[in-house]
A = this chain, B = another copy of it.
Amino acid sequence: MEQQNELPIKIVLDTWYGNVSRADALFNTLTDEQLQGEVSPGRNTGTYLLGHLTAVHDRMLPLLGFGAQKYPQLDEVFITSPDKSGKTMPPIADLRAYWKDTNETLATHFKAMQPGEWLNKHTSVSEEDFAKEPHRNRLNVLISRANHLSGHYGQLLFLKK
């Protein structure tokens, strides 16, 4: 039974790692100049999406109970504000480094977890609500963020020649 229970969790984790890995590969092939382009006319730039994805992943640290965000300064530029808000973005080289570090930090925490811990509540749900809605757990956060990454990955592909 415990064996069975681990399988769905492994599948979600594999999806997460797979999505991060293909996004990594894409960011690595895109030049800084390509990243500064819009994914479609009038839409987000690659730079904004890189910062946005990094900030969203960084916020998973407190959400999953792993501690404070490492790059909270990104929130205002890449989550609270839309692209072209006039807010100053960090240099692209820094954003690339934050992206890599954030995903590595998450992976380190994930690898230290027992499968069953994925079914514990995340920090944005109260004990009371969690008792009634046990699917509001860490695994739910992981699959939701993996999906979020897929959506933006599909857009970022348009920056390729």
Chain A residues in the interface with B (C-beta under 8 A): 1-2, 4-5, 7-12, 14-15, 19, 39-41, 43, 116, 118-119, 134-135, 137, 139-140, 143-144, 146-148, 150-155, 158
Contact = CB atoms under 8 A, between A and B. Distances in A.
Task: Report the copy number of this chain in the oligomer.
Answer: 2
Contacts of A12: 8, 11-12, 143
B11 A135 contact: yes
The A contact surface, by secondary structure, is helix
Contacts of A1: 1-2, 5
The winner among A11, A15, A19, A139 for most chain B CB atoms within 10 A is: A11
A137 B7 contact: yes
Nearest to A136: B11
A128 to B, nearest CB: 18
A5 to B, nearest CB: 5
Contact of A11 (B40, B43, B139): B139
